[in-house]
Amino acid sequence: MERDELISSWLDRTARFYDRPLQALLLGAAPRSAKPIELSEVDLGTAKGALRPVAALLGISIEHLAAHTIAAAYSWGLHLVARGTFVPDGHRSPRLRYAACPHCLERQRADRGISWLTRAWILAPRTVCSIHHVPLVEGHVGSISHPIWSDFLRRHRHSNRAVCAIAQAPSAPVTSWAGPPFADNEAAGLHRQMATIQDGILAGAAQETRRRGTVGEGRARVTYDLVWAFTRADRHYPDRLVYEAFASDLLDSPWHVAQRRRPGPVDFPTLSLHERHVLLATATVLTGPQSLRRQFCQSTGPWQADLATLHRRLKDDDRAELAGRQRKWNKVPESTI
Ligand SMILES: [Zn+2]
């Protein structure tokens, strides 16, 4: 297993090495098991029965494998894991949303000759790489490749096999978001701040394992609480989230916002990576210095005006909840006071 690697990523590499479908290999390790093993549950550590065949396939003990599950290694972040909401049969599912930093994948390939998915990338508040300050891309295990290869595969569909052999890239290209229509240097500044805030949110969550909803310190906490407020139902427009009132044309297009329209509230970790990214970006801009606000904000007024608007948009119980959270904003950034 590589550093911080997801178990499903390790399994995926193993199957690729043997050039056989993963489920066939798992069936070989557990001939009596009738139903396919859900890899999300193996990663999370919620499928106890699946640990034995997976451990057998990987040639390690069950205890060793269990120590690598999210439940064991990221127990503080279980409620922050990015996940889907429903599977086709209608039951609530813990199915994970997988993501990766394209630059890290290339770096891994350059250093180690292979690429793998890390556990840190599946936490919902993580939408920007903490090393490269670029947005992560979402995909399935075995479907994430560098955007360069994805573009190539889209244009040359019949050359999948050859490209995969050369690049060791998976055959299914990932659909990545083209990115916002602003200058690279502006994006870089925003993404750098987002990476710092996301580091703060996750570091705070690791420290406060028992106090849900109070994640991070200073600007990280304020940003996280704003994102929570964004995911509530709008008092004036019940079919919309409060976020719509704050969505910046530069960060999110009105067309995309309308496409995603739904009644609130929604659970942040169940949103797609792109949705989480624009919510976090908007909150980062609102809590940011004037220079950042001038670049992306529709209203160039003071931060207090945004906060007052937010309160007006929330329903009574949500407003009370936000007020409670605000009392814990002990270190609000100077530029926003
Ligand atoms: Zn990276």
Neighbour-count burial of 317, counting CB atoms closer than 10 A to its CB (0-12 exposed, 13-18 middle, 19+ buried): exposed
Indicate the DSSP class of residue 135: B
CA–CA dist 75, 124 (Å, integer): 14
> Ligand 1 centroid to 300 CA: how many Å?
32
Q: Is residue 173 part of a domain?
A: no
Residue 216's pLDDT is 67
Residue 23's pLDDT is 82
Q: Is residue 1 part of a domain?
A: no
Q: Are 39 and 141 in contact (CB under 8 A)?
A: yes
> Ligand 1 centroid to 114 CA: how many Å?
15
Q: Is residue 2 part of a domain?
A: no
Between the two ends of the chain, the Cα-to-Cα distance in Å is 47
Tokens of 320: 């009370």
Residue 168's pLDDT is 34
The CB density around residue 330, as the number of other CB atoms within 10 Å, is: 8
Whole domain around residue 277: which residue ranges?
Answer: 184-336
Look at residue 139 and give its three-state secondary structure: strand
> Ligand 1 centroid to 46 CA: how many Å?
28
Same-domain status, 160 and 279: no
Look at residue 215 and give its three-state secondary structure: coil
> Ligand 1 centroid to 285 CA: how many Å?
22
Q: Are 144 and 170 in contact (CB under 8 A)?
A: yes
Q: How many domains does the chain have?
A: 2
> Ligand 1 centroid to 215 CA: how many Å?
23
- The ranges of the chain with pLDDT < 50 are 158-178, 213, 334, 337
> Ligand 1 centroid to 136 CA: how many Å?
8
> Ligand 1 centroid to 107 CA: how many Å?
8
> Ligand 1 centroid to 219 CA: how many Å?
23
Same-domain status, 157 and 224: no
Residue 154's pLDDT is 61
> Ligand 1 centroid to 8 CA: how many Å?
20
Residue 164's pLDDT is 34
Look at residue 265 and give its three-state secondary structure: coil
> Ligand 1 centroid to 319 CA: how many Å?
37
What would the pLDDT profile of 166-191 be if each residue is shown by its tens digit? 333 333 333 444 455 566 777 889 99
Same-domain status, 330 and 196: yes
Same-domain status, 39 and 98: yes
CA–CA dist 311, 319 (Å, integer): 6
Q: Which helix (H) or strand (E) holds 100?
A: strand 98-100
Indicate the DSSP class of residue 138: E
Same-domain status, 104 and 37: yes
Same-domain status, 157 and 13: yes
Same-domain status, 78 and 196: no
Tokens of 215: 């994640």
